[in-house]
Chain A
Amino acid sequence: MVSSGGQAVAQVIGEARPPRETGTRPPTSWQRFLANRWAIAGAVVVLVVVVAAVLAPFLPLRDPNGTQPARRLSPLFAPGYVLGADHLGRDLLSRAIWGARVSLLVGVLSTALAVSVGTTVGLAAGYYGGRADLVIMRAIDILMAFPYILLAIALVAALGPGLVNAMIAVAVVNISFYARGVRSAVLLLREQEFIVGARAAGATEGRILRRHVLPNILAPILVFVAMNIGWMITETAGLSFIGLGAQPPSADWGTMLADGRQFITVASHVAAIPGLALFILVLGLNLAGDGLRDAFDPRLR
């Protein structure tokens, strides 16, 4: 017998319960994830990038900001410079690895900001309804009427260019998506019997939200996060690329691309390498994210 809580989870994350067969147990979500070769490959790529980023200060790398004018625009596989050097003679391998730190930090922090604010807003709007819901949803409509790139650019212009502000802008843009998603999930949950039951049993509203509503929407939120984080990283790098995010000389992939762009006729690898690094990380995240979605939320496929 499945509890009503379990049923609600199944409904919200759309998990079709397979018919019971005697003797065999249907694979769990994690087992389904682990059986997906591409998802595992993606997870491994992400893991390698994370390990390299964390260990960057301990790896035998040159100072990512150390200039060496004699080495400027060194080609690939130059002695001592496996990936060559940029226009100031900075080691591109070292900068690419240090850049991973920036991108990963950006991904984690802006996602955390968007999720926490978006979930809170969505919970409040969906659960309390009424006037709060109306005001919040109209504000979100206006937010969504902006093409997100203009909103991000305007926010950066208001706050001033810089990595932290670019991150905040990308996070703010995403708040509306999380708020909408959470709100509609909560609207479905609110009328479920176990919520009504909890209220009848005398649970406070805060307790119902924390103990009954939140755990039931966590799975779809996490799946969305997994699919969203690569996009956040790309967008922040994009803002850096057009000069609104990280500022030189910081070793950030977007800034490195913008620097390298000026030399594509003489040394195209300088622009190609940071983009390749970004592509590899985002591809890994997307593969793993797709795998998580397929395993945990088949309805979204």
Chain B
Amino acid sequence: MWPYLVRRLIAAIFVLIGVSLVVFLVLHLTPGDPAQVLLGPRATPDDLARLRQELGLDRPVLVQFVRWASHVLRGDFGRSIMLHRAVLPELARRFSATLILTAGGVLLAFPVGTLVGIVAAARRGTLIDRLTTTAAMLGVSMPAFWVGLLLIITFSVHLGWLPGTGMYSATGNGGITDLVVHLVLPAATLALLPLSIIARLTRASMLDVIGEDYIRTARAKGLSDRTVIGKHAFRNILVAMATVFGLQAGFLLAGAVYVETVFSWPGIGFMMVNAILTRDFPLVQGGVLLVAATYVLINLGTDLLYAYVDPRIRYG
């Protein structure tokens, strides 16, 4: 177990270096740099050259990369060029907003999706099954950015029940109630796609398992439906569920970019789009590193989860 973990973590470090280097090269080897964005189209070549020198953009790309990486190792992510602020606190603020949003989405998507899938499988062919299967099909086909707008139109504009933008009210005290009220619509939007996928997948794996001999045996010895489905069958779909969990991480982040744009949620996805468009190199680099690290850790966590839910899986 431990040697496996160490090997995976070392591999993760190389992946992160690779990801950072690729982003660095993509940013630096394509036309347009922060100096141009800052000074605008009327800048003189002299001004541009001076600013580039000030920002260290005139040195060879690899030198810049090594300099950036060595600073990062010492915990210094540099300063955002556009925001005139240190990158690290900005990342922390934005990342925590995205974490709150995704946590809301996950808490909604996983329990509800799993439950819907199990019920649909256990009541296969009934009206409940048909309704939930149809709803899940609609759910996977709806673009998140459209669903978000529809929710805002319905619940904010017409009914006026819930706020449609931001994380806190301007006049509120920034309390937890205020946050939760603002979280409902974005989290529901973010949850829709994973919820539908999970429901479909749970139903499919449940149907596979229900056909197995040991389920028939369990039924034959007189166990209740609840025990057979809830205990015997459920444990055996957990490996499939763990796989979805890992896969959904990428979808959740992509969804977060759209949801944050639609709801003006001050998260990291929204920030990254703007940072990339304004070529704010330090902010982009820091954000990519943070997001990729999260992603790699989630994938590693998924693999460890396999071994936990299925004792037959062992890592040496």
Contacts and interface: CB of A to CB of B under 8 A. Distances in A.
Nearest to A240: B145
A153 B275 CA distance: 11
A301 B204 contact: yes
Nearest to B26: A158
A286 B146 contact: no
A267 to B, nearest CB: 10
A272 B153 CA distance: 9
B9 interface: no
A194 interface: no
A14 interface: no
B253 interface: yes
B277 interface: yes
A279 interface: yes
A279 B296 CA distance: 32
A154 interface: yes
Interface stretch (B182-190, B222-230, B287-295): B287-295
A272 B142 CA distance: 12
A14 to B, nearest CB: 13
B92 to A, nearest CB: 18
Contact of B250 (A148, A158, A235, A264): A148
A237 interface: yes
Contacts, number: 121
B142 A242 contact: no
B257 interface: yes
Given A157-B277, A241-B258, A242-B258, A145 B153 contact: no
B99 interface: no
B283 interface: no
Interface in A120-151: 141-142, 145-150
B18 interface: yes
Contacts of A271: 146, 149, 153
Interface string B180-222: 0000000000000000000000001000000000000000000
B163 to A, nearest CB: 13
Contacts of B261: 241-242
Interface string B9-52: 00000011011001100110010000000000000000000000
Interface stretch (B119-127, B133-141, B234-242): B133-141
Nearest to B256: A149
Is chain B's interface secondary structure helix, strand, loop, or mixed overall?
Answer: helix
A264 B30 CA distance: 37
A278 interface: yes
Nearest to A266: B157
Interface string B247-290: 00110011001100110000001001100110100001000100
Interface string B155-177: 00100000000000000000000
Contact of A257 (B15, B23, B146, B269): B146
B88 interface: no
A261 interface: yes
B101 to A, nearest CB: 14
A142 B141 contact: no
Given A149-B257, A158-B30, A275 B141 contact: no
Nearest to B299: A145
B140 A286 contact: yes
Most chain A CB within a 10 A radius of its CB, from B23, B141, B152, B292: B141
Nearest to B152: A264
Given A142-B18, A264-B152, A301-B204, A148 B254 contact: yes
Contacts of B103: none
B26 to A, nearest CB: 5
B128 interface: no
A147 B250 contact: yes
A235 B254 CA distance: 9
Contacts of B56: none
Nearest to A276: B146
Nearest to A143: B22
B145 A257 contact: yes
A265 interface: yes
Nearest to B279: A157
B23 A145 contact: no
B258 A238 contact: yes
A275 B142 CA distance: 8
B141 A230 contact: yes
Interface string A230-266: 1000110110011110000000001001001100110
B111 interface: no
Contacts of A282: 141-143
7 contacts: A147-B292, A149-B254, A154-B23, A154-B288, A235-B254, A243-B277, A268-B157
List the 8 closest pairs (A to B, CB-CB), nearest first: A275-B146, A149-B254, A283-B141, A157-B276, A158-B30, A268-B153, A147-B253, A142-B18
Given A142-B18, A149-B250, A154-B26, 4 more contacts: A242-B258, A264-B149, A268-B153, A272-B150
Interface of A: 141-142, 145-150, 153-155, 157-159, 161, 230, 234-235, 237-238, 241-244, 254, 257, 260-261, 264-265, 268, 271-272, 275-276, 278-279, 282-283, 286-287, 290, 301
Interface of B: 15-16, 18-19, 22-23, 26-27, 30, 137-138, 140-146, 149-150, 152-153, 157, 204, 249-250, 253-254, 257-258, 261-262, 269, 272-273, 276-277, 279, 284, 288, 291-292, 295-296
